Amino acid sequence: MNAIEIRNLSKSFRGMYAVDHLNMTVPVGAIYGFIGENGSGKSTTEKLICGHLVPDEGEIKLFGRDYTDPGVRVRVGALIENAGCFPGSSVYQNLRMQTINLGLENPDEEIRRVLEIVRMEDNAHLKFKSCSLGMKQRIGIAMALLGDPALLILDEPINGLDTDGMRIMREILVDITQKYGCTVLISSHILGELEKIATHYGIIRQGKMIMELSAAEMDSRAQVFVSLKVRDMQGAKAVLKANFDTIKEEEGYLRVYDVDDTAANVELLMKNGHAPSEIKKNKIGLEEYYIELMSQTETEKEEK
Amino acid sequence: MTRELNFESPSFAKRIKGMLGVDFYRLFHTPLFYIFLAISAIIPAMVSAMTMMPDQSGNTMEPLYSNVWQIIAASEPLYVIKGIADYANMNMVFIFGGIMVSIFIGHDYKSGYVKQLFTTHAKKQDYMMSKSLVCAFAMACMCITYLIGGTVGGLLVGYDTAVNVASLIIAILGKMIMSLGWASLYTFLNIIFRRYFGISIASSFFFGTGILIIGAAAIVENLSIPTWFLNIFLYGSSVNACLVSDIWSLVICIAVSIAWAVIYNLLGTRILYKSDVY
């Protein structure tokens, strides 16, 4: 069974498709990184799943049930755009309202539990408006975590956070899936952070899902390359070109792609009088992969 | 960690209890409700006091009322407003109430809290029903503070207190019951204009103050429309609850208020299902 299964989902605003016949599959227990540029339809898709928007067509199933089923929706927690809290009320009051909304039996215990998860147990008395951005995001997650959700939908939860805030958020998200068995759909622009936690990825462009893959598949597709710094870049490039297929000059380095053997590069350059001053072995990350994929789809589009 | 997933549909009673609980919690834990209770008490006291104050030349104004209870309800059903006193009674709660409902619902959208509600509540009628009932309760409470403020003000000014007690009680109860219909109308208007906070307040204000009603009243006067027909509407049955009311007036208030509440709830729910909520 999948946590989310979307088929042929579309949503348009003033005749323009924000989500265009989208298909999506999120397995139970996954941390699904939902990636796409601004305006690609990530938030619209998330709002459609949460029932905030009415789709033009298509089907959304959550845990095998229609998304309008009250039984399944009561087990969905969401943080979309902002925490959705009353600014003049305290953190406790905002959480208390959500416990009442969900009909939870031990509200104070439940509030303490979620505040501990988001590391804010000492801040319940604070007015929501006096909290920092990072705290507000964490309160939003705490709100979404109330009532034992089976699915969490988080829209850009790490945007605007400092390094420490991002680290805390990352730990929280891993905790949620490992300790509570929650499925998480998370959209973010900060691909480096997403890469550290996601088990699956979905890449959306102009409302269409262009690729879905697991982290393992992503890893197997990621190219390995060796970065070299030499004094005579052009000379070294010419030497390497005779022996390797893909050589690029990027960020002040010569990058030799699809080569695992660093020694072979060094030996070849040394032989030809281009001793490298710096050598690094790298693997293409999610960000580079995403940029590459985007440029490929752009080229394909232009060719059409 | 894997766990067993159980998706039990909450019953209607559980759903509505949750939604009502949130709205009542918010009502009692934010200053808005108390501010409007105070306004509802102060305004009638001020109106009665001001009418007895001497002007700059030392002349006392002609009193608006001759009786304390006219501050609460008109002496007879006045469908066409001719003077400020015709409407300056407990009907004013329906003006304050309109503004309060707009702010109450507007905050739901402004803060984004409405997203939490619609994420966990797939049935959108829960939202309409809960808002209508909680705002009706708030307006009924405002009727009580209006009664207290108006009575105290009237007694201090020294108005006559003679009244048919049964009619007075019926008039007060009738207006309190009418709160449900008015609250449902305002909730419906706020659902229509949910993206435009200013227009929501303006529309509630226009309906509540009778700017639209006064226009209708002028037509009423010219057309001589029968009162039974006017009583079908919220405004008609609200003014029909007055100091000469009998039990029949109360029955009309109950029937009209519930009927309009149902109509507005059905319309509002339909809008919520057919359009994007946030």
Instruction: Find the CATH number of the domain harbouring A231.
Output: 3.30.70.980
pLDDT at B1 over 60: no
Chain B residue with minimal CA distance to A89? B30
**Cα A233 to the center of its chain, rounded Å:** 37
Q: Tell me the pTM.
A: 0.85
**Is B60 contained in some domain?**
no
Residues A81 and A53 reside in one and the same domain: yes
The enclosing H or E element of A2 equals strand A2-13
Instruction: Specify the number of domains making up chain A.
Output: 2
Provide the pLDDT confidence category of residue B208 given band limits of 50, 70 and 90: confident
| Contact call for B278 and A52, based on CB within 8 A | yes
Chain A residue with minimal CA distance to B271? A54
Measured over the CA atoms of residue A247, residue A251, residue A252 and residue A253, the dihedral's sign is negative
pLDDT at A157 over 80: yes
Q: Which range among A183-192, B2-11, B95-104 shows the weakest confidence by mean pLDDT?
A: B2-11
Percent of chain A with pLDDT over 70: 99
Of B19, B111, B274, the CB nearest to A85: B111
Residues A271 and A169 reside in one and the same domain: no
Residues A54 and A99 reside in one and the same domain: yes
Residue B39, Ramachandran bin (φ over 0: left; ψ between -120 and 50: alpha; else beta): alpha
Shortest CA gap A255–chain B (Å): 41
| Tens of pLDDT, residues B211-223 | 555 556 666 666 7
Contacts of B17 in chain A (CB under 8 A): 103
| Tens of pLDDT, residues B251-271 | 999 999 999 999 999 999 999
Asked if B237 and B162 count as a contact pair (C-beta separation under 8 A), the reply is no
Chain B residue with minimal CA distance to A82? B112
Containing structural domain, residue A83: 2-213
Distances (CA, A) of B168 to A234, B93, B252: 100, 17, 16
**Is B115 contained in some domain?**
yes
One DSSP character per residue, B14-63 reads HHHHHHHHHHHHHHHHSHHHHHHHHHHHHHHHHHHHHTTSB-TTSPBPPP
Shortest CA gap B278–chain A (Å): 6
At residue A134, the pLDDT reads 86
Residues A227 and A207 reside in one and the same domain: no
What is the residue whose two structure tokens read 């959500």?
Answer: A98
The 3 state secondary structure assigned to A15-74 is: CEEEEEEEEEEEECCCEEEEECCCCCCHHHHHHHHHCCCCCCEEEEEECCEECCCHHHHC
What is the residue whose two structure tokens read 């759903």?
Answer: B15
Interface-testing mutation among B119, B125, B127, B270, with chain A (most A C-beta atoms within 10 A): B119
Residues A33 and A148 reside in one and the same domain: yes
Interface-testing mutation among A100, A129, A185, with chain B (most B C-beta atoms within 10 A): A100
Residues A104 and A141 reside in one and the same domain: yes
Residues A96 and A66 reside in one and the same domain: yes
Asked if A113 and B155 count as a contact pair (C-beta separation under 8 A), the reply is no
Dist. CA B195–CA A198, nearest whole Å:
35
Shortest CA gap A19–chain B (Å): 14
Contacts of A100 in chain B (CB under 8 A): 18, 21-22, 25
Residues A72 and A188 reside in one and the same domain: yes
One DSSP character per residue, B107-131 reads HHHHHSHHHHHHHH---THHHHHHH
Beta bridge partner(s), residue A9:
A22
**Is B5 contained in some domain?**
no
Dist. CA A215–CA A35, nearest whole Å:
13
**Which of A134, A211, A129, A193 has the alpha carbon at shortest distance from A165?**
A134
Contacts of A74 in chain B (CB under 8 A): 10, 120-121
Residues A59 and A26 reside in one and the same domain: yes
Please check whether residue B275 touches A, CB under 8 A.
yes
Contacts of B14 in chain A (CB under 8 A): 103
| Tens of pLDDT, residues B59-76 | 766 677 788 898 899 888
Interface-testing mutation among B105, B120, B270, with chain A (most A C-beta atoms within 10 A): B120
Residues A122 and A192 reside in one and the same domain: yes
DSSP three-state, residue A178: helix
Containing structural domain, residue B247: 14-49+67-274
| Contact call for A84 and B15, based on CB within 8 A | no
Residues A178 and A41 reside in one and the same domain: yes
Beta bridge partner(s), residue A259:
none
CA atoms within 13 A on the CB side of A212: 13
Which amino acid does the sequence have at A85? C
At residue A22, the pLDDT reads 97
Count of beta carbons in the 10 Å neighbourhood of residue B174? 27
Chain A residue with minimal CA distance to B119? A50
Residues A25 and A169 reside in one and the same domain: yes
Provide the pLDDT confidence category of residue A48 given band limits of 50, 70 and 90: very high
**Is B258 contained in some domain?**
yes
**Is A257 contained in some domain?**
yes
Contacts of A77 in chain B (CB under 8 A): 119
pLDDT at A279 over 90: no
pLDDT at B58 over 80: no
Provide the pLDDT confidence category of residue B102 given band limits of 50, 70 and 90: very high
| Contact call for B113 and A81, based on CB within 8 A | no
Of A67, A78, A97, the CB nearest to B22: A97
Instruction: Look at residues A152, A178, A213 and tell me which one is the last residue of a structural domain.
Output: A213
pLDDT at A123 over 60: yes
At residue B69, the pLDDT reads 92
**Is A269 contained in some domain?**
yes
Of B5, B10, B118, the CB nearest to A52: B118
Mean pLDDT of chain B: 87
Shortest CA gap A172–chain B (Å): 15
At residue A89, the pLDDT reads 94
pLDDT at A115 over 60: yes
Chain B residue with minimal CA distance to A43? B278
At residue A176, the pLDDT reads 83
| Contact call for B273 and A54, based on CB within 8 A | yes
pLDDT at B80 over 80: no
**Is A298 contained in some domain?**
no
Instruction: Specify the number of domains making up chain B.
Output: 1
Please check whether residue B28 touches A, CB under 8 A.
no
Please check whether residue B273 touches A, CB under 8 A.
yes
Q: What is the ipTM of this complex?
A: 0.86
**Is A292 contained in some domain?**
no
